[in-house]
Amino acid sequence: MRIAVGADHVGYDLKDAVGGFLTRLGHEWTDFSPRVLDPEDDYPVVGSQVARAVAQGEFDRGILICGTGIGMCMTANKVDGVRAALCGDTFSAHSSREHNNANVLCLGARVLGVGLALDIVRDWLAAEFSTEERHHRRVTKMALVESAGSC
């Protein structure tokens, strides 16, 4: 799987741990994070870059990391075609894929320990979008809200 990964200055260390984990799992990943840590490298820049790369089909999925994960999630969800999910547990991670077809995972570096973060990544990557019609219907309605403002 091809995965776009990005972090701001707060999420940088967790991003490195996630990247190493992705490599061990056999995934190809590209780091969109700034090369030099700077508190002025704000999350909307890297968040939008990863989200656009996923929406344009350059990557299968994306993972974004900031302090809480909230800013990255809000930014990524501004990009048409992105369904970003902020997950703090493995159940939500799995469900975001199975029920909502999330294509971007957001994590909070100040909220999660490394072990739990890697468990979340593992379960999110392993989960597949359900074949049940109700989930497809709902994701289609989300896309209508995105394009037309309502469903």
Write out the catalytic residue numbers: 66, 99
Q: What residues contact 108, with CB distance under 8 A and at least 6 apart?
A: 65, 66, 67, 68, 69, 70, 86, 88
Q: Which residues contact 58 (CB under 8 A, 6 or more apart)?
A: 2, 4
Which of 71, 53, 57, 54 lies closest to 109, judged by CA?
A: 71
Q: What is the end-to-end Cα distance of the chain in Å, rounded?
A: 32
Q: Which residues make beta-bridge pairs with 63? A: 5, 105
Per-residue CA distances from 97 to 5, 11, 78, 87 (Å):
17, 23, 19, 11
Query: What residue type is 56 in one-letter code?
Result: Q
